[in-house]
Amino acid sequence: MRRGRNWFFLGLTYASYYLCRYNLSPIANELKADLNLSNAQYGAINSGRDGAYAIGQMINGLFTDRVGGKRAMTIGAIGTIILNLAFGMTTWTAISFMLPALVLIRAADGYIQAFGAPGMIKINTAWFRRRERGAFAGIFGAMINLGAIGAGQLGGILATGATLSLVIATLAIPKLDWRYMFFIPPVVVAVIVVLMNIFVKNNPEEAGYEIVHDDEPPSDPNEKIRLRDVWRKIASNRIVWLVAAAYFCTGFVRRAIESWFAVYLNDAWGADRTTGLYDAFVWGLPITATVGSMASGFISDLWFKGRRAPVAATLYFSQTVLTVVALLLPHHGENANAWLAVSIVILISMMCNSTHSILGTAAAMDLGGRKMAGCSSGIIDSFQYYGALLSGYGLGALFDWFARTDLTTTAPTSAPAAAPISPAVWFGSMIPFGVIGTILMGYLWLRFGVSRIEWPRVIWCCAFANIGGTCDVAGRKSTGDGLLGCCLAATNDLPFP
């Protein structure tokens, strides 16, 4: 009961962070139109936030291991409240340096929000054992995605207005300017962070409990480790860097979808915030992310005994296949199907959000342990946002270049400031990152999962066990279990990854 209360308010706090993080993409089209921004300029605002967030993860992860998770999350919450209000007020001015100001404010917000993930992960590492972390990473993913749903729904309400039926009256909410996306979420964060400070404890010992972590030696949970020792320990682990490199790939695809989905809907299908396609994205992205996060966490905990690489490799491969399918779908003519295209994009998002959960949360806790989870999380999660950095300005500039260029003559042509984006460029940019992620996680799976056994026997068993034969791998028998049973027998009971 006490542990449930802790993770509930912790998850609610991080969900409120998402309200202030995902409040830009739903109003991207209005922002570009009202401020006369190109795709590259809109992307620069996103890149400013993502780049500063990446730097903040590296630095703030170290500080979180010193100051504690609850204090770190409080610092991040207060900062994002102030900076979201500043962003909204700036867009109502007529200053000549509007774009640099917005990039700077959003970058500062990205840096300060980077206290949130290391703080959350550090607290959860203390409260959950290794073999529980994958499942609870999925549960936390579900709670966090409430913030993404809230931001998307708020965008729709501001565009159309809403009517709420109460017991004694009906409350009519009028249409509001898109700038209110930066005034309403900070109020929600302010309320929730107060509740978090009341109900959340940094570790079980603060609440009068003790949880034995079998994968770590017994020690004082409040012991402070020197920053340089933490950095040296985590940075010398090559698995951390391989996971971080794969997470770079997740970052590009995840943010490419989150930052540009509203622009894609408008430019490819003529759908704005009042349409069913927008609602499908707003609900579909976080719900499928939740399902994928929870399923991947439970699978890695139960089927692979806490190992993350086998599940991550499968997810990256599935993501790549789906992206190729999306690239081949027609977006014009009688065969074009908007709902099919949107469904495929949502499934791509599901795959990369699942790797986001098991690598960024569960793997970071596994590799860092309760004393160094903040630093481990900071290194791994920062690489996600280095990848995201490319999906902002880089992808926006690529959209503008293709819009200005006649590919049959390579001659520059005129284009409006906010030129329509190309679905082919959008999907094509994601494919290399899915391939690289598959290779990296596949390497970890094979190198550390089955290097101790004979590969010819594994291949033979996996190929022929379905016909009712006996699979005998490394002394473990699996009679008639088929491909899954054989491969699980070969790879279980081994340490991360």
- What does the pLDDT look like over 442-468, one tens digit per residue? 998 887 664 444 344 444 444 444 444
The pLDDT value given to residue 349: 94
DSSP structural state of residue 237:
-
The pLDDT value given to residue 484: 42
CB 145 within 8 A of CB 15: yes
39-95 residue pLDDT tens: 999 999 999 999 999 888 878 877 887 788 889 999 999 999 999 999 999 999 989
The pLDDT value given to residue 109: 97
CA 378/CA 360 separation, integer angstroms? 9
Give yes or no for residue 178 having a pLDDT over 50.
Answer: yes
3-state secondary structure of 171: strand
pLDDT band at 482 (very low <50, low <70, confident <90, very high): very low
DSSP structural state of residue 465:
G
DSSP structural state of residue 394:
I
CB 154 within 8 A of CB 160: no
CA 97/CA 94 separation, integer angstroms? 9
| Average pLDDT of the segment spanning 24-49 | 95
The pLDDT value given to residue 408: 46
Sign of the C-alpha dihedral, residues 216, 218, 221, 223?
Answer: negative
Give the percent of the chain with pLDDT over 90: 41
The pLDDT value given to residue 492: 43
CA 430/CA 310 separation, integer angstroms? 21
| Average pLDDT of the segment spanning 10-31 | 91
The pLDDT value given to residue 481: 43
The alpha carbons of the chain give a radius of gyration, in whole angstroms, of: 23
133-155 residue pLDDT tens: 556 666 666 777 788 889 999 98
DSSP structural state of residue 421:
P
Give yes or no for residue 417 having a pLDDT over 80.
Answer: no
Structure-token pair, residue 475: 């002394």
According to DSSP, the residues that pair with 355 across neighbouring strands are: none
Alpha-carbon torsion, ordered 397, 279, 159, 165, to 10 deg: -160
The pLDDT value given to residue 486: 45
214-236 residue pLDDT tens: 555 555 545 555 556 655 665 66
Mean pLDDT of the chain: 79
pLDDT band at 29 (very low <50, low <70, confident <90, very high): very high
227 phi, psi to nearest 5 deg: -60, -40
Structure-token pair, residue 4: 């449930």
The pLDDT value given to residue 78: 96
- Cα dist from 450 to 306, 447, 453, whole Å: 16, 6, 6
Give yes or no for residue 393 having a pLDDT over 80.
Answer: yes
Selection from 3, 135, 127 nearest residue 69 by Cα: 127
The pLDDT value given to residue 462: 43
Give yes or no for residue 244 having a pLDDT over 60.
Answer: yes
Selection from 113, 136, 146 nearest residue 12 by Cα: 146
CA 25/CA 396 separation, integer angstroms? 13
328 CB burial (10 A radius; 0-12, 13-18, 19+) = exposed
The pLDDT value given to residue 454: 38
| Average pLDDT of the segment spanning 376-386 | 75
Residue 134's Cα: distance from chain center in Å? 15
Selection from 181, 178, 191, 154 nearest residue 78 by Cα: 191
Selection from 319, 270, 272 nearest residue 439 by Cα: 319
The pLDDT value given to residue 404: 81
CA 394/CA 400 separation, integer angstroms? 10
280-326 residue pLDDT tens: 999 999 899 888 877 877 787 777 766 778 888 999 999 999 999 99
491 CB burial (10 A radius; 0-12, 13-18, 19+) = buried
- Measured between alpha carbons, how far apart are the two ends of the chain, in Å? 31
| Between residues 105 and 333, the one the model is more confident about | 105
355-380 residue pLDDT tens: 877 776 555 555 555 555 556 666 67
Write down the residue that tokens 């400013």 correspond to: 48
The pLDDT value given to residue 68: 83
The pLDDT value given to residue 58: 76
Structure-token pair, residue 317: 């491969």
